[in-house]
Chain A
């Protein structure tokens, strides 16, 4: 069974490329691929920050929001973020 979906695999690849852009036997093609992945690092950091902010906001609404529509919306946000990271 594949554990990671596309998104988590992408994050793994980007972090790997950032930590190890080259090794002692890398081919030029692989070096280029890793350089391109490494360049996506700030994008991944931004995705994590935005997801964290949405989750924090959603949990705030879930805990403090009394009205049902607000709680529904909070659940919707959480579901969207979880779905995005599990896709």
Chain B
């Protein structure tokens, strides 16, 4: 280094730059290539398959679902084979509602294709497209939103199984989340048993009430089992059974499609959901309802599905960008220092 200080330094800087950039830019290029391939595949599929069956009148008016998340559409995959199933889902949007036979859920490939796809809601059953359309065309009326989430250490323990010693952050998160639900119109946060009545009973009782207003339940669910902050439990199927034909309803919880007993001919969710996204989605859905009081269940689902889809589930892209920016700054500053020596023609610099 003492004989050729500048050339050695330039060499080490070039190596450092390569170390930072090669893995990052290569991965970035791979992602870009993948995006190009996906876009090309989508374009070809659109040409080859054409539009999937469309259910709503509004969707018929606007056949291209990518024009904006304002219309809902039914994608009937009841008779689709795996390839067609995947191809159709790959061009679907969050505002689409998938309908299919229950047997599809027993196949891991169908299930993973569904979970990875854009649509948030599915209807499993044999009611056919007409039945699904009738369900989605029901008027929402004045919705009743029941939010059964914990806001205390005891509730967090009962719902998520976290001991009090490890639940400080979670309690804080849930308290913050519950505030977002409280500002919704017609919402009711259920943290405790009501007058000695378990939350599960309260929920099932309200679900069974005969009224026109849509019933919406937000709760934690694991394999179809709904756990409430007072320790009471029920199932997604039981809630839908209580709803029956009394009123339209929706259980907003993580992948209710992944239940031990899958409720049929009702709205199910296809993926993991974040509580704050749910609150945001319900707020957007209420705004839609305020502008159109005669909105249907399908119309109500569109902004909800959009909010549940538009947030990245991980900070990885942000961390990647920060790493690239900081790496670039390091390389630029180090190169700048070396270039200063070149400009000064100072070989001992």
Segment at the A interface, from B137-145, B187-195, B199-207, B315-323:
B315-323
Q: How far is the CB of A49 from chain B (nearest CB, A)?
A: 14
**A residues 16-39 with Cβ under 8 Å of B?**
16, 18-28, 31-32, 35-36, 38-39
Q: Which residue of chain A has its CB nearest to the CB of B333?
A: A59
Majority SS of interface residues in chain A? helix
A4 to B320, CA, bound (A): 8
Task: Check B211 for interface membership: any CB of A closer than 8 A.
Answer: no
A8 to B194, CA, bound (A): 46
Partner of B20, one of A22, A32, A82: A82
B234 to chain A: which residues have CB within 8 Å?
Answer: none
A43 to B347, CA, bound (A): 43
A32 to chain B: which residues have CB within 8 Å?
Answer: 161-162, 166
Whether the pair B12, A24 counts as a contact (CB closer than 8 A) is no
**B residues 318-349 with Cβ under 8 Å of A?**
319-320, 323, 327, 330, 333-334, 337, 348
Partner of B272, one of A8, A25, A86: A25
A63 to B332, CA, bound (A): 13
Q: How far is the CB of B155 from chain A (nearest CB, A)?
A: 12
Q: Which residue of chain A has its CB nearest to the CB of B316?
A: A12
A85 to chain B: which residues have CB within 8 Å?
Answer: 323
B76 to chain A: which residues have CB within 8 Å?
Answer: none
Whether the pair B173, A22 counts as a contact (CB closer than 8 A) is yes
A62 to B20, CA, bound (A): 19
Whether the pair A1, B315 counts as a contact (CB closer than 8 A) is no
Task: Please report the total number of A residues contacting B with Cβ < 8 Å.
Answer: 37
Q: Which residue of chain B has its CB nearest to the CB of A85?
A: B323
Interface size class of B (residues with CB under 8 A): 35 or more
Whether the pair A21, B337 counts as a contact (CB closer than 8 A) is no
A3, A82, A86: residue with the most chain B Cβ atoms closer than 10 Å: A3
Given known A11-B319, A32-B166, A68-B5, contact A22–B160 (CB-CB < 8 A): yes
Q: How far is the CB of A63 from chain B (nearest CB, A)?
A: 6
Task: Check B121 for interface membership: any CB of A closer than 8 A.
Answer: no
**B residues 211-265 with Cβ under 8 Å of A?**
218-222, 252-255, 258
Given known A12-B315, A75-B12, A79-B16, contact A1–B253 (CB-CB < 8 A): no
Task: Check B117 for interface membership: any CB of A closer than 8 A.
Answer: no
Partner of A12, one of B5, B173, B319: B319
Whether the pair A26, B160 counts as a contact (CB closer than 8 A) is yes
B5 to chain A: which residues have CB within 8 Å?
Answer: 68
Whether the pair B161, A25 counts as a contact (CB closer than 8 A) is no
A86 to B219, CA, bound (A): 40
**A residues 52-76 with Cβ under 8 Å of B?**
55, 59, 62-63, 68, 72, 75
A25 to B257, CA, bound (A): 12
Task: Check B185 for interface membership: any CB of A closer than 8 A.
Answer: no
Whether the pair B337, A63 counts as a contact (CB closer than 8 A) is yes
Partner of B273, one of A1, A11, A24, A39: A24
A38 to chain B: which residues have CB within 8 Å?
Answer: 169
A21 to chain B: which residues have CB within 8 Å?
Answer: 169-170, 173
Whether the pair B222, A22 counts as a contact (CB closer than 8 A) is no
**B residues 29-53 with Cβ under 8 Å of A?**
30
**Chain A interface (Cβ within 8 Å of chain B)?**
1, 3-4, 8, 11-12, 15-16, 18-28, 31-32, 35-36, 38-39, 55, 59, 62-63, 68, 72, 75, 78-79, 82, 85-86
Q: Can you give 14 contacting A-B residue pairs, CB < 8 Å?
A: A1-B27, A12-B316, A15-B319, A21-B173, A24-B253, A26-B222, A31-B161, A32-B162, A32-B166, A35-B167, A38-B169, A72-B1, A78-B16, A79-B16
User: Which 6 pairs across A and B sit closest by C-beta, in order of nearness?
Assistant: A25-B254, A28-B161, A3-B27, A24-B254, A35-B166, A31-B160
